Structure 1
Amino acid sequence: MIPLIGELLTSGSPGQMVAGVLLLGGGAIFAVCAVALSLIDLEEHRLPNRIVYPWAGITAILLVLITFLLGDGPGLGRALASGLLWGLGFLLIKLIYPPSLGMGDVKLVVVLGLYAGFLGWETLAAAVVLSFLLGGLTSVALLVTGRAQRKTRVPFGPFLILGTALALIFS
């Protein structure tokens, strides 16, 4: 994402420059919401709707504006499809085995899917893989060191956020 923002900001085109500024704003909003949600999830094992819902709405509005400025209809469609697919996938997991995920995780991945999907299917795939990899490795480390038991609840939100952030930064 960083190269894309750099290209847009230095393009000389007013529309592209505004799109770059909007992407920077979206990144700042991502950072603020990500830190708040991660801290809350680590402390309370929940992801409050009062943060997730406004974040989703602001993200959708930003992506529509950026799409309008860049004329990238497929990017917006991919973002919407990614958020929906990741959210439905997590909802299915939640319905099959309810203790596996919280509904906050299901809602969170819709927002994260919007961000990742806008940049491409590869970015979405990287976000999903990195999220599970980071969460899994941390859980194994906690088990091996005796800091967790097999039934210990480990909040997944911070790993979803970190995995997506890494995918966005390096895409």
Structure 2
Amino acid sequence: MSDGLMVAALAVAALVMSCAWLVYVAARRGGVAGRSDVLGVLVRPRGDWWILPVSLLVVGGTAVAWQAAGLAPTYQVRMAVMLVALAPLALVDHREHVVPNRALGALLGVRAVIYVWEAIVLPDVFVDMLRAELITAGIVVLFFVMVRMLNKGGIGMGDVKLFAVMTLFLGTQLALASIFASLLVSFFVALVAMATKRKTRKDTFAMVPSIALGTALAVVLVSIRGAL
């Protein structure tokens, strides 16, 4: 597949995945409001349609850099899936202060399918890659569980599970960079919120919006750097 066709394919995939996530978010919002009218939630004046152009712009733009960097198609798909998933998860966390297990389970299912694809097209490196990702994900979970034990209000288990899923999608190096960037964004967001007296130290902060922004920044910067 040519570079142009790969970029177009990733952009279309991002658009389709975004539509599916949009319906999911609308269904959750309708359920929380005691409504089952998903279409009514979707077409309301202040909808969540911004997810579509944002996902298309981020995935389509970085996909150009991915081609220049010569990344494997399977890895490009992995990054695209993770980037598209973070925006709706950030919305849900912002509104409900929860990271849905069903959404994380769906992502794991997608990752399992990609693992099968990688086992077929990358047999020489698949086992080592899988081992590294699983070990890193385990270390990430263990670390943040310890952090949670020391400071229960610091991070939720949903955020911990999301970090583990991110590791399986992004790979060890990019996942660690994304987690670090996410924590930095979360720190500055908390500082601004407390400085403007919108939040106090005792308040709960939705972390997934910061994770989404931090991960997007890390992926974009690493992608551009790799393409240069």
Normalised by the length of structure 1, the TM-score is 0.78
The alpha carbon displacement at 1:169 in A equals: 3.0
Q: Percent identity?
A: 27
Tell me the residue number matched to 2:210: 159
- The residue identity in structure 2 corresponding to 1:143 is M
Match of 2:191 in 1: 140
Take 1:38 and 1:95, find their aligned partners in 2: how far apart are those partners?
A: 24
Matched AA of 1:35: A
- Pairwise CA RMSD of aligned residues? 2.3
How far apart in 2 are the matches of 1:125 and 1:25? 19
Contact 1:80 1:114 in 2 (8 A): yes
Aligned to 1:169: 220
Give the number of equivalent residue pairs. Answer: 157
Deviation, 1:4, is 4.5
SS at structure 2 position matched to 1:164: helix
Q: For the pair shown, which has the larger CA radius of gyration, 1 or 2? A: 2
Tell me the alpha carbon deviations over residues 52-74 of structure 1, each in whole angstroms, 9 at most, x when there is no partner.
Answer: 11112312431442254133233
Deviations for 1:49-101, whole angstroms, at most 9, x for unmatched residues? 11011112312431442254133233322222222211221122223332222
1:100 and 2:151 equivalent? Answer: no
* Alpha-carbon distance change, 93 to 42 in structure 1, aligned in 2, over 3 angstroms: same
Q: Check conservation: 2:104, 2:162, Cα contact below 8 A.
A: yes
- 2:144·2:160 contact (CA, 8 Å) conserved in 1? yes
Q: Is contact 2:82–2:166 with CA below 8 Å preserved after alignment? A: no
Asked if 1 retains the 8 angstrom alpha-carbon contact of 2:185 and 2:210, the reply is yes
Task: Please show how residues 58-137 of structure 1 align to structure 2 within 5 Å.
Answer: 58-70=110-122, 71-73=124-126, 74-116=128-170, 118=171, 120-121=172-173, 123-137=174-188
What's the CA shift string for 1:9-67, capped at 9, x where partnerless?
xxxxxxxxxx51x4444344323321111000001100011101111231243144225
Q: Verify the 8 A CA contact 1:130 1:167 in the aligned structure 2.
A: yes
Give the TM-score taking structure 2 as reference length: 0.60
SS in 1 for 2:153: helix
Give the secondary-structure state (helix, strand or coil) at the position aligned to 1:160.
helix
Q: Distance in 1 between the 2:75 and 2:87 partners? A: 18
Aligned to 1:12: none
Instruction: Work out the CA distance in 2 between the residues paired with 1:67 and 1:161.
Output: 29
Residue 76 of structure 1 aligns to which amino acid in structure 2? Answer: L
Deviation at 1:167, TM superposition (A): 2.3
Unpaired runs of 5+ residues, structure 2, are: 1-61, 223-228
Change over 3 Å in CA distance of 1:125–1:110 after alignment to 2:
closer
CA 1:50/1:5 → structure 2, altered by over 3 Å: closer, same or farther? farther
1:148–1:90 Cα change, 3 Å: same
Give the counterpart letter for 1:55 in structure 2: L
CA contact (8 A) 1:5 1:23 kept: no
Query: Contact (CA 8 Å) 2:181, 2:214: kept in 1 or not?
Result: yes
